[in-house]
Chain A
């Protein structure tokens, strides 16, 4: 089953690293195939940053994301540029502390940046919170695989903080799933 994931936010949030970590989890620890691409260029420095990931059980031929079915959105500008056109059957995980718009598709609201700052003390791990929430809501890779890929990718000395961030994301996702259930 081919999944196409699109990540967007602003430069510095770790949008590209998020896609790399998820791809690494799929390839190295979940026996899947993955291709990660990203928008380079000056527009990715200041404004909306975007990266994309394809995960599949089979070898991936065409390597570009054309019809994302999963969105991870971490800024309002990122939503407007890369999330607003999400089709109704897609799933979106968005950082509700930074994005005020809501899509037409199924959406999980994760206050990742607020929680990263207030509960974990570092807003820099907000992208890891989002990854935890993404895996909990979509099951795109297993949680153990994600944790290993995170630990491979973060600077030494920050492992405990990042593991906590991932767990926080899973916890916030559980609440968001419940909230979505009540709305439906």
Chain B
């Protein structure tokens, strides 16, 4: 069963989290993400969940990591400067393999920038923002419907791979209201518990160790220091550090085909758009308005790990056109994987690319 609603994107995000069983929200309100916190503050206590407004974003990130170790499905939501403040503890979550969901409703930066205007300027920060090597999963919604669906999915991915999962939304999808079909229930993938008698940071073939939930009788040490399979600090052993960090990266990168989520339209086309988040909507409009013209489109929902293998499906591509609300962050990632020109179509300031602007890029000479 489903029902129809007319919701704001941020409301849909909060409801998607609740549908996925999120029972802990720790955060600090910041435009344009505040409605996520507001809605969770309203709804979580009625579902026996915990909403806590922390003193800042450093603490918010710490709170959801702690909550996750008690077995909670935990999330936070932020934007711009708040996202920057979370970086240190995002690294801690990656190192301790703590499942958690971080919603970033992106606004114009750097610094306090444009609080009320949309952007996609944090795509690289989300991938590489904390120090050291690690990998994460990032999802980009392009509609209110996807604010719901991808938030719910983020919890499953976080539990499956024991990583921080990012919902990299933007002010446009976060604040707009539109029609949404809300399902009665969503798929839930449970976190795999540690098997008693095995080591808490020893992983099998999928490189993801079982989870020793606090309060269930395991004696486990959790640290941001380099640790061995027992969880004990071991900070000068070259091999242990190499193997640990390699596993943190590989468990996500090896799963790139399993977590990939994209659509391919007109794979024979010569001109191929690639988009994620709000600019997807402009590309869809261009394709709709030019039915006779064969325009390729790779529409990406999982931006990290980047689905590089999807690019190869456009065998006749002579160029890739990449509209982003930043100066070409993902265009540069695409360039690493293809031999044909990659045309970045940046737009900053908060306005979505207009269909005419994408048409102009299409008409421009190679």
Contact = CB atoms under 8 A, between A and B. Distances in A.
Contacts, number: 61
Contacts of A41: 115-117
Interface stretch (A26-34, A98-106, A109-117, A171-179): A26-34
A27 B176 contact: no
Contact of A62 (B5, B6, B178, B282): B282
Contacts of B6: 20, 23-24, 27-28, 34, 36
Given A63-B281, A66-B354, A40 B175 contact: yes
A28 B176 CA distance: 16
A61 interface: yes
A24 B4 CA distance: 10
A33 B5 CA distance: 11
Interface in A49-95: 60-64, 66
B355 interface: yes
B4 A27 contact: yes
Interface string B177-212: 111000000000000000000000000000000000
A22 to B, nearest CB: 10
A36 B176 contact: yes
A37 B352 CA distance: 12
Interface string B1-44: 00011100000000000000000000000011000000000000
Contacts of A5: none
Given A23-B6, A28-B6, A63 B176 contact: yes
A35 B281 CA distance: 12
Contact of A61 (B175, B176, B285, B354): B285
Nearest to A44: B116
A35 B116 contact: no
A60 B351 CA distance: 17
A40 B285 CA distance: 25
Nearest to A54: B178
A19 to B, nearest CB: 8
26 contacts: A20-B6, A23-B6, A27-B6, A33-B178, A33-B179, A34-B6, A34-B177, A35-B176, A35-B178, A36-B6, A37-B175, A37-B177, A40-B31, A40-B32, A40-B116, A41-B115, A41-B116, A61-B282, A61-B284, A62-B282, A62-B352, A62-B354, A62-B355, A63-B281, A63-B352, A64-B351
Interface of B: 4-6, 31-32, 115-117, 172, 175-179, 278, 281-282, 284-285, 288, 351-352, 354-355
Interface of A: 20, 23-24, 27-28, 33-38, 40-41, 60-64, 66
